[in-house]
Amino acid sequence: MAASTGGGVGAEDVVRNKQVILRDYVSGFPKESDMQVTTGTTKLKLPEGSTAGVLVKNLYLSCDPYMRNRMTKRDPGASYIDSFNAGSPIAGFGVAKVLESANPKFKQGDLVWGRTAWEEYSTITATDSLFKIHNTDVPLSYYTGILGMPGMTAYAGFYEVCSPKKGETVYVSAASGAVGQLVGQFAKLSGCYVVGSAGTKEKVDLLKKKFGFDGAFNYKEEPDLDAALKRFFPEGIDIYFENVGGKMLDAVLPNMRVHGRIAVCGMISQYNLEQPEGVHNLMYLVIKQVRMEGFLVFDYYHLYGKFLEMVLPAIKEGKITYVEDVVEGLESAPAALIGLFAGRNVGKQVVLVSRE
Q: Give the x/- contact pattern for its own copies in 63-82, rule: CB under 8 A.
A: ----------------xx--
By CB atoms closer than 10 A (0-12, 13-18, 19+), residue 69 is middle
Number of residues that bind its own copies (CB under 8 A): 33
Query: What's the closest the beta carbon of residue 197 comes to its own copies, in angstroms?
Result: 19
Strands 130-132 and 121-124: unpaired
Identify the helix (H) or strand (E) that includes residue 338.
Answer: helix 333-342
Residue 113: name the closest of 180, 65, 56, 52 by CA: 56
Q: Using the rule CB under 8 A, is 291 a contact of its own copies? A: yes
Q: Residue 203 or 261: which CB sits closer to its own copies?
A: 261
∠ CA(16), CA(20), CA(26), 5° rounding? 160
Q: Residue 74 or 105: which CB sits closer to its own copies?
A: 74
Those residues with Cβ within 8 angstroms of residue 73's Cβ, 6 or more apart along the chain or in another chain: 25, 83, 86
Q: Using the rule CB under 8 A, is 296 a contact of its own copies? A: yes
Contacts of its own copies in 234-253 (CB under 8 A): 245, 249
Q: Residue 15 or 227: which CB sits closer to its own copies?
A: 227
Neighbouring C-beta atoms of residue 201, cutoff 10 Å: 11
Instruction: Answer yes or no: are the C-beta atoms of 246 and 227 closer than 8 Å.
Output: no
Q: Using the rule CB under 8 A, is 287 a contact of its own copies? A: yes
CA dist list (Å): 251 to 33, 230, 281: 35, 10, 8
Half-sphere exposure for 338 (CA within 13 Å, toward CB): 16
| Of the candidate residues 276, 306, 319, 331, the single one contacting its own copies (CB under 8 A) | 276
Type of residue at 185: Q
Strands 130-132 and 111-117: antiparallel
The stretch near its own copies (CB under 8 A) out of 192-200, 264-272, 326-334, 340-348 is 264-272
Those residues with Cβ within 8 angstroms of residue 305's Cβ, 6 or more apart along the chain or in another chain: none
Identify the helix (H) or strand (E) that includes residue 259.
Answer: strand 256-264
Query: What's the closest the beta carbon of residue 265 comes to its own copies, in angstroms?
Result: 7
| Of the candidate residues 105, 126, 289, 306, the single one contacting its own copies (CB under 8 A) | 289
Query: What's the closest the beta carbon of residue 69 comes to its own copies, in angstroms?
Result: 8
Q: Residue 15 or 282: which CB sits closer to its own copies?
A: 282
Query: What's the closest the beta carbon of residue 278 comes to its own copies, in angstroms?
Result: 1
Q: Residue 3 or 227: which CB sits closer to its own copies?
A: 227
Neighbouring C-beta atoms of residue 129, cutoff 10 Å: 15
| Of the candidate residues 90, 133, 267, 350, the single one contacting its own copies (CB under 8 A) | 267
- 271 has which bridge partners? none
The stretch near its own copies (CB under 8 A) out of 199-207, 276-284, 311-319, 323-331 is 276-284
Query: What's the closest the beta carbon of residue 6 comes to its own copies, in angstroms?
Result: 38
Query: What's the closest the beta carbon of residue 288 comes to its own copies, in angstroms?
Result: 7
Contacts of its own copies in 78-117 (CB under 8 A): 79-80
Query: What's the closest the beta carbon of residue 321 comes to its own copies, in angstroms?
Result: 27
Residue 155: name the closest of 318, 315, 347, 301 by CA: 301
The stretch near its own copies (CB under 8 A) out of 47-55, 220-228, 267-275, 343-351 is 267-275
Query: What's the closest the beta carbon of residue 251 comes to its own copies, in angstroms?
Result: 14
- 256 has which bridge partners? 237
- 60 has which bridge partners? 95, 352
Contacts with its own copies, residue ranges (CB under 8 A) = 79-80, 245, 249, 258, 264-267, 270, 275-296, 299
